Amino acid sequence: MSTWAAKRFWEAARAEPCAGGFAVLLDTRPVKTPAKQPLVLPTLAMAQAIAAEWDQQHGVIKPETMPLTRAANSAIDKVAPQFDGVVGEIANYGSTDLLCYRATVPQALVERQEAGWAPLLAWARADLGAGLAVTHGVIPIPQSKSSLARLRALVAEHSAFELAALHDLVAITGSLILGLAVARGRLTGEEAFALSRIDETWQNEHWGEDEEAAAQEAQRRIALLTAERFLALCG
């Protein structure tokens, strides 16, 4: 059965235990991923949330309205088969982390970045054991090999489902530290998103907000909050 059936054919979707976790059933038929793998989920809460997405479909199925289902599919079909590669992709953000690259002017923006980002770098050094160097400008600087190795090890501790969420948290913010801060409860998704957009917020305050850019920002924010929710549903 294809997960992305063209039209609704079931009366009700429900979650129930299965071998290895929890499944979503459309009437009596278990949902599978696009790669035809069983959609086996790690928690009942996640299975119930995904079942609710399926129950909210009417007529033609709209995958874009099912972000939790898509994240679970990605965890099974894409992340799990290439786990080490995904770990590396996420961990690589640590070498060019947004929080390490500061403005030189104006002074008010420099101070805003310092106030928002310095506490997170201090947390990474003290709690994660990964100190990162800071520079002004955009020219890449080398980071401590031991810190990068430590960050990679922390990323690798996550399950495939958690990595699917962490990938979005990190890619959307441009910061491995912000992503890990959300994953570890140091920040909320809203807080991480705001911290990742300090430069953009500054520009909007002084030059006005572009309507198209604002719409894109809204989409990124929703995607980040969805990743935060998916991560919470992992356990």
pLDDT in tens, 5-64: 468 899 999 999 999 999 999 999 999 999 999 999 999 999 999 999 999 999 899 999
Sign of the CA dihedral running 123, 125, 127, 130: positive
Sign of the CA dihedral running 101, 132, 90, 145: positive
pLDDT in tens, 135-168: 999 899 999 999 999 999 999 999 999 999 999 9
Task: Show the 3-state SS of 99-167.
Answer: HHEECCCCHHHHHHHHHHHHHHHHHHHHHHCCCCCCEECCCCCCCCHHHHHHHHHHHHCCCHHHHHHHH
What is the share, in percent, of the chain residues with pLDDT greater than 90? 92
- 3-state DSSP call for residue 28? coil
Structural domains of the chain sorted by starting position, each given as residue range(s) with its CATH number in brackets: 1-64 (3.30.2180.10), 82-233 (1.10.3580.10)
Cα–Cα dist 93/112, whole Å: 22
Cα–Cα dist 177/94, whole Å: 7
Residue 1 binned pLDDT confidence (cut-offs 50, 70, 90): very low
Computed over every residue of the chain, the mean pLDDT equals 95
User: At residue 186, what are phi and psi to the nearest 5 degrees?
Assistant: -75, -30
Q: Which of 5-19, 65-79, 93-107 is least confident? A: 5-19
pTM of structure = 0.94
H or E, element range at 60: none
Cα–Cα dist 223/165, whole Å: 10
pLDDT at 2: 46
